[in-house]
C-alpha cells in the first residue's frame, strides 16, 4: 500500500512526523509538505510563480507552496504510482465546524478526493506538540482500521479530531456532524513602525454551538470525532424556494 502524507503546519511539524510514522505501519509512505506554516490557506493554489519541490535528506519533499499544491504535485509528478490514500496532519489545533472551510489540513485531504484518492484529515485539539506525540498508538490503530475499509466511498473525506487529552484518557470514537463556531474580537487594529494602520486577523474568543452529535461536543467529552464530509455544497432542500423567486436575467 502506498500513502501520501502532507499537512499545513509545514515540513518540520512534529505532527507530520507522527502521522508518517503511524502510516508506515500499513505501507510505503511519501511525505510531501509545505516548507513553512500554511495554516488558513484553505484550498488555494500557487498560480503566479513556479513551484520548486526539494528532496530532503530523509527522502521527504518540501514544497514552497500550499497544502493543495503538495498533493497536486505528489499525484501528478513526485510519486511514481498513484497512492491508495492521502493522510493530512496531524494539525496542531482543532479543525471543527467552519474551520474546515479555512483549513489547509482539510483542503489537502479534499484535493486528494478531487483527484480520485481517499483523503483523511487529522487534527489534535491542542497546540502543545509534546502532547500529540503520546497519541502514536491511537493513530496507528485509526490508520489501520481506515485503510482496511473495503469500497471506501468516493467523493468523501474524513475529518478527524483528537481530544486534548492524554492518549489513555480517550473515551472512544464518535461519528459526528459539523458544529458551528463564532469568532468575536478576532480583528486587531495596530500601527506599523511607520505609523500606518494595519490589521491582524486571529485570536479572539470562540463560541461553539451544536448538539450532542456535533464534532466539538464529542471532542469536549473526550472522544475522537470522525466527520464524513463531501464536496457537494449544494443545498438541495432550497431548490424549490429559490425557483419560487422567479429570478430573471
pLDDT score recorded for residue 72: 98
- Reported as a pLDDT band with limits 50, 70 and 90, residue 134 is confident
Mean pLDDT of the region 117-142? 91
Say if strands 28-34 and 61-63 run parallel, antiparallel, or are unpaired: parallel
pLDDT score recorded for residue 22: 97
Examine the pLDDT at 210 and tell me if it is beyond 90: no
Place of cell 510531501: 32
What are the residues facing 219 on neighbouring strands? Answer: none
Domain boundaries, the chain: 2-178+211-243
pLDDT score recorded for residue 248: 84
Percent residues over pLDDT 90 in the chain: 84
Spell out a b/e string for 170-193, using b for 16 or more CB atoms within 10 Å of the CB, else e.
eeebbebebbebeeeeeeeeeeee
C-alpha to C-alpha distance for 92 and 131, rounded to whole angstroms? 10
Per DSSP, 135 falls in state: G
Per DSSP, 155 falls in state: T
Place of cell 482500521: 145
Examine the pLDDT at 107 and tell me if it is beyond 80: yes
CA distances from 145 to 25, 93, 118 (A): 11, 23, 14
Mean pLDDT of the region 127-144? 89
pLDDT score recorded for residue 214: 97
Mean pLDDT of the region 213-217? 96
- Reported as a pLDDT band with limits 50, 70 and 90, residue 130 is confident
- Reported as a pLDDT band with limits 50, 70 and 90, residue 129 is confident
Pick the CATH number of 2-178+211-243 from 3.40.50.2000, 3.20.20.140, 3.40.1210.10, 3.65.10.10: 3.40.1210.10
pLDDT score recorded for residue 167: 85
Q: Which tens digit of pLDDT belongs to each residue from 26-58?
A: 999 999 999 999 999 999 999 999 999 999 999
pLDDT score recorded for residue 133: 85
Q: Which tens digit of pLDDT belongs to each residue from 51-98?
A: 999 999 999 999 999 999 999 999 999 999 999 999 999 999 999 999
What are the residues facing 119 on neighbouring strands? Answer: 86, 157
Examine the pLDDT at 203 and tell me if it is beyond 80: no
Whole-number average pLDDT of the chain = 94
Best CA proximity match to 39, nearest among 74, 66, 73, 4: 66
- Reported as a pLDDT band with limits 50, 70 and 90, residue 20 is very high
- Reported as a pLDDT band with limits 50, 70 and 90, residue 207 is confident
Place of cell 458544529: 179
Percent residues over pLDDT 70 in the chain: 100
Q: Which tens digit of pLDDT belongs to each residue from 154-194?
A: 999 999 999 999 888 999 999 999 999 877 778 899 999 99
Mean pLDDT of the region 123-140? 89
CA dihedral 161, 167, 171, 176 (to 10 degrees): 10
Mean pLDDT of the region 212-237? 95
Cell numbers placing 97: 465546524
Amino acid at each position: 500500500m502506498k500513502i501520501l502524507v502532507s499537512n499545513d503546519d509545514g515540513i518540520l511539524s512534529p505532527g507530520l512526523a507522527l502521522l508518517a510514522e503511524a502510516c508506515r505501519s500499513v505501507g510505503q509512505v511519501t511525505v510531501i509538505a509545505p516548507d513553512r506554516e500554511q495554516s488558513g490557506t484553505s484550498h488555494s493554489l500557487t498560480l503566479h510563480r513556479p513551484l520548486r519541490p526539494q528532496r530532503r535528506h530523509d527522502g521527504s519533499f518540501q514544497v514552497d507552496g500550499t497544502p493543495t499544491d503538495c498533493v497536486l504535485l505528489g499525484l501528478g509528478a513526485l510519486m511514481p504510482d498513484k497512492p491508495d490514500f492521502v493522510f493530512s496532519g496531524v494539525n496542531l489545533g482543532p479543525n471543527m465546524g467552519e474551520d474546515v472551510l479555512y483549513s489547509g489540513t482539510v483542503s489537502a485531504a479534499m484535493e486528494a478526493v478531487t483527484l480520485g484518492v481517499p483523503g483523511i484529515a487529522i487534527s489534535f485539539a491542542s497546540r502543545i506538540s509534546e502532547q500529540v506525540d503520546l497519541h502514536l498508538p491511537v493513530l496507528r490503530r485509526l490508520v489501520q482500521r481506515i485503510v482496511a475499509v473495503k469500497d471506501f466511498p468516493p467523493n468523501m473525506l474524513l475529518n478527524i479530531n483528537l481530544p486534548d487529552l492524554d492518549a489513555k484518557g480517550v473515551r472512544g470514537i464518535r461519528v459526528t456532524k459539523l458544529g458551528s463556531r463564532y469568532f468575536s474580537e478576532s480583528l486587531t487594529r495596530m500601527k506599523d513602525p511607520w505609523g500606518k494602520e494595519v490589521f491582524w486577523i486571529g485570536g479572539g474568543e470562540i463560541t461553539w454551538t451544536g448538539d450532542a452529535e456535533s464534532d466539538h461536543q464529542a471532542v469536549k467529552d473526550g472522544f475522537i470525532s470522525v466527520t464524513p464530509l463531501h464536496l457537494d455544497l449544494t443545498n438541495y432542500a432550497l431548490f424549490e424556494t429559490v425557483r419560487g423567486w422567479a429570478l430573471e436575467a
